[in-house]
Amino acid sequence: MKKFLIITITIFIVITQNTKAEAIPDLVGEWSGDNDTFSELKGMKTWKKNVKITEQNDRRFKGHFTYSAGTKNFYGIIHPDNVTITWVASDSRGYNFGKILEENKISACYVESGIDATVGCAVLSRIE
């Protein structure tokens, strides 16, 4: 009986230690990297992508990025796994999906369907 109790307590401690909430990653800062894109209209391109995340409140964040056609503001979320991120812009038909790869490195992949279908993916490093 004593052995059973010790095993049960040990299992309980291990389970509760592994289920503690992890800190939500901080994404505020400036991120930069090469964006590899492909579309019917523009073909295959590689261009420098600069993203600035200006505000974060728990899992929610906002920011902007600049590209050849101007600047887009976006709103995003960190998923409960603390790894997956998604962001959208009000004036865009596509979605950005990404992963937190390291403390200062994320992926950002864009997909848009329809007449202007395009895909692109960048690995961004925090530069500020």
- d(Cα 81, Cα 126) in Å, to the nearest integer? 21
Out of 7-11, 60-64, 113-117, pick the least confident: 7-11
Residue with tokens 């007449």: 115
**Average pLDDT, whole number, for the chain?**
87
- pTM for the whole thing? 0.79
The pLDDT tens digits for 39-64 are: 988 899 999 999 999 999 999 999 99
The 3-class SS string of the chain reads CHHHHHHHHHHHHHHHHHCCCCCCCCCCEEEEEEEEEEECCCEEEEEEEEEEEEEEECCEEEEEEEECCEEEEEEEEECCCCCEEEEECCCCCCEEEEEEEECCEEEEEEEECCCCCEEEEEEEEECC
pLDDT at 91: 86
CATH of domain 25-126: 2.40.128.20
pLDDT at 108 over 50: yes
